[in-house]
Amino acid sequence: MTTTTTTNPTPLWALGDYHAVATELIAPLGPRLVEATGVGAGQHVLDVAAGTGNAALPAARTGADVVASDITQRLLDIGRSAAEAEGLDLDWRADDAQALPYDDGEFDAAISCVGVMFAPRHQEAADELTRVVRPGGTIGLLSWTPQGFIGRMFATMKPFAPAPTPGAQPPPLWGDEEHVRGLLGDRVTDVVARREPLPVDRFRSPEEFRDFFKATYGPTIAVYRSLADDPARTAELDAALVDLGATHDLGDGRMEWEYLLLTARRA
Quote the CA–CA distance of 154 and 188 in Å, as a whole number.
Answer: 29
**What are the sequence ranges of the domains in the chain?**
11-147+165-199+256-266
Mean predicted lDDT score pLDDT of the chain: 95
pLDDT tens digits for range 149-183? 999 999 999 999 999 989 999 999 999 999 999 99
Give, in order, the Cα–Cα distances in Å from 114 to each of 86, 177, 207, 259. 23, 14, 24, 9
Residue type, 11: P
pLDDT in single tens digits along all 267 residues of the chain: 433 333 334 479 999 999 999 999 999 999 999 999 999 999 999 999 999 999 999 999 999 999 999 999 999 999 999 999 999 999 999 999 999 999 999 999 999 999 999 999 999 999 999 999 999 999 999 999 999 999 999 999 999 999 998 999 999 999 999 999 999 999 999 999 999 999 999 999 999 999 999 999 999 999 999 999 999 999 999 999 999 999 999 988 899 999 999 999 999
Residue 205: CB partners within 8 Å, gap ≥ 6? 245, 253
Give, in words, the CATH class of 11-147+165-199+256-266.
Answer: alpha beta
Residue 134 contacts residue 107 (beta carbons within 8 Å): yes
Kindly report the backbone phi and psi dihedral angles of residue 155, in degrees, each rounded to the nearest multiple of 5, phi listed first. -65, -35
